[in-house]
Structure 1
Amino acid sequence: MSVIYLLISISIVVAVAFLIAFIRAVKSGQYDDDYTPSVRMLFDDEVVKKEKPNKLIQTEKQKSI
């Protein structure tokens, strides 16, 4: 029976620690961005520039030499 009391007390301590961490995150402004998630799907993805294939061929030629 004492193990149950120990586990309950430890779980309460962990829950209070997570509550304090959550309150600290809210106060620091981590969850303040309300605008961006609603329009994120409207923005285009960034275009990733492809490397020139000549560079790749040159490096392979240099490796074979």
Structure 2
Amino acid sequence: MSVLYVAVPLALVLGGGGLIACLLCIRSGQYDDLDTPAVRMLIDEEKSKD
């Protein structure tokens, strides 16, 4: 029973930290463009004529 006094606050702190990290990633725009990285490897690079 006494382990709950440690486990519950620890779980709340870790969950809150994960929530804050997720919100910071969303606000910074990391999840704005989900399609381009998946097809970036299919786009040919233009070769320079130098």
Superposition TM-score tier, normalisation by shorter sequence: 0.5 to 0.7
Find the residue that maps to 1:2 and give its secondary structure.
coil
Percent of residue pairs identical:
48
Cα RMSD, aligned residues only: 2.0
Larger RCO, structure (CA 8 Å, separation 6 or more): 2
Identify the residue that residue 60 of structure 1 maps to in structure 2: none
Identify the residue that residue 16 of structure 1 maps to in structure 2: 16
Higher helix share: 1
Identify the residue that residue 2 of structure 2 maps to in structure 1: 2
Shift of 1:38: 4.4
Superposition pairs of residues 1-65 of structure 1, within 5 angstroms? 1-40=1-40, 42-44=42-44
Q: TM-score, normalised by structure 2?
A: 0.66
Q: TM-score, normalised by structure 1?
A: 0.54
Point out where structure 2 has 5 or more consecutive residues left out of the alignment. 45-50
Q: Which runs of 4+ in 1 moved over 2 A?
A: 37-44
Shift of 1:32: 0.9
Q: How many residues get paired?
A: 45
